[in-house]
Amino acid sequence: MASTTLKLPPGLKSRVATLAKKSGRSAHSLMLEAIERHAAREERTREFVREALAADRAIDLAHEVDAVFSDLRPARVERDVVAPSGDSVRQ
């Protein structure tokens, strides 16, 4: 495992030491777990944002395509339809 020096503010160092003592773990294992969790959360967040931006682009593209094709569709024409009862119904 590679070694890294981590300089902690005194208050945080004290908190980590207290948690380590109360949990029966080493300060090293607590910090390692915290860094791992944070890195994983950041990676998930970045992936979520990447997927959201791709979905947004796909929606924009779909609207652009729909706008192009809406000009090609014939306008809806209302017409009278005779119901089986003989009444005129607007459609």
pLDDT at 77: 59
Q: Compute the distance between CA of residue 53 and CA of residue 11 in angstroms, rounded to an integer.
A: 39
Q: Residue 43: which H helix or E strand, with range?
A: helix 27-70
Quote the pTM value: 0.60
pLDDT average per 10 residues of sequence, the chain (91 residues): 92 97 97 97 96 90 74 63 58 49
For the chain, what is the mean pLDDT?
A: 85
Nearest Cα to Cα of residue 73 among 81, 65, 82, 83: 65
**pLDDT for the residue numbered 71:** 65
Backbone angles phi, psi at 81, to 5 degrees: -120, 135
Give the tokens for residue 21.
């003592």
